[in-house]
Structure 1
Amino acid sequence: MDAAQDAPQEAALRHNVADGVATVVIAHPAKRNAMTAAMWRALPEVLDGLAADPAVRVLVLTGVGPTFCAGADISSLTGDEDPQALAVAAEEALAAFPKPTLAAIRGFCVGGGSQLAAACDLRFAEEGASFGVTPAKLGIVYPASSTRRLAALVGPAVAKYLLFSAELIDAEHALRAGFLNELLPAGQLDERVADFARVLTSRSQLTQAAAKEFTNGRTDRDAYWAEQAAGSGDTAEGVAAFLQRRTPSFGWTTAPTAAPTTGRATGRPAG
Structure 2
Amino acid sequence: MIDLKQEGDLWIVTLARPDKANSLTRPMLERLVEIAESAGATRALILTGQGKVFSAGADLEEAKAGLAVSDLWERLSGALARLPALKIAALNGTLAGGANGMALACDIRIAVPGAKIFYPVMKLGYLPQPSDPARMIALIGPARAKLILMGGQKITVEEAYDYGLIDRIVPPEDLMATARALCADTLAAPAEVAAGIARMCS
With normalisation by structure 2, the TM-score equals 0.91
**Which residue matches 2:145?**
159
Residue pairs, 1:72-151, within 5 angstroms = 72-76=58-62, 79=65, 83-151=69-137
Aligned to 1:197: 183
Q: What is the SS of the residue equivalent to 1:128? A: coil
The answer for unaligned runs of 5 or more in structure 2 is none
Cα distance, 1:99 vs structure 2: 0.9
CA distance in 1, matches of 2:134, 2:119: 13
C-alpha distance in 2 between matches for 1:81 and 1:71: 10
Q: Is the 8 A contact 2:92 2:172 kept in 1?
A: no
Aligned residue type for 1:169: I
SS in 2 for 1:51: coil
Post-superposition CA distance 1:19-67 (Å, at most 9, x none): 5311001111121001111111221211233324xxx321000011222
Structure 2 distance, partners of 1:26, 1:68, is 7
Name the SS of the counterpart of 1:65 in structure 2: coil
Partner of 1:187: 173
- Alpha-carbon distance in 1 for matches of 2:67, 2:8: 38
C-alpha distance in 2 between matches for 1:210 and 1:136: 38
Question: Are 1:16 and 2:5 matched, yes or no?
Answer: yes
Aligned twin of 2:197: 211
Instruction: Give the conservation status (yes or no) of the 8 Å contact 1:24–1:59.
Output: yes
1:124-152 deviations in whole A, cap 9, x for unaligned? 11111111111122021223321111111
Q: What RMSD over aligned residues (CA atoms) do the two structures have, in Å?
A: 1.9
Q: What SS is found at the alignment partner of 2:182?
A: helix
Query: 1:104 Cα deviation (Å)?
Result: 0.3
**Which consecutive aligned stretches of 4+ in structure 1 deviate over 4 angstroms post-superposition?**
77-82
Unaligned 5+ segments in structure 1 are: 1-11, 217-271
Contact 1:37 1:77 in 2 (8 A): no
Letter in 1 for 2:22: N
What are the Cα deviations for residues 99-119 of structure 1, in whole angstroms up to 9, with x where unaligned? 110000021111122211111
AA in 2 matched with 1:94: L
* Partner in structure 2 of residue 245 of structure 1: none
